[in-house]
Amino acid sequence: MEEKTTINGHIVSYDQSLDQGIRYLKFKITPAELKVFFDEAYYRGSAAFRDHMGYNYKLIHNGGEYQLVRI
């Protein structure tokens, strides 16, 4: 099921099964690191990253919103 949340002022949609990736973005990295991910997704279309558990994700910029997917 598709969920939406706001992270650092950005709307992020994600599948409910990706809660771990959302928690990583919200609580496990510094604001400076978070800004890098959102800036890269905005300017390059996407930003890939790995969370502390070793799962790979991609933050994709879709117009005014972002989407988190597992890769």
**What number is the average pLDDT over the span 35-39?**
97
For 6-59, give the secondary structure using H, E and C.
Answer: EECCEEEEEEHHHHHHHHHHHHHCCHHHHHHHHHHHHHHCEEEEECCCCCEEEE
**What number is the average pLDDT over the span 51-69?**
95
Q: What is the pTM of this model?
A: 0.92
Q: pLDDT, tens digit, for every residue of 4-32?
A: 999 999 999 999 999 999 999 999 999 99
Count: domains in the chain:
1
Range of the domain at 15: 2-70
Q: What's the confidence (pLDDT) of residue 46?
A: 98
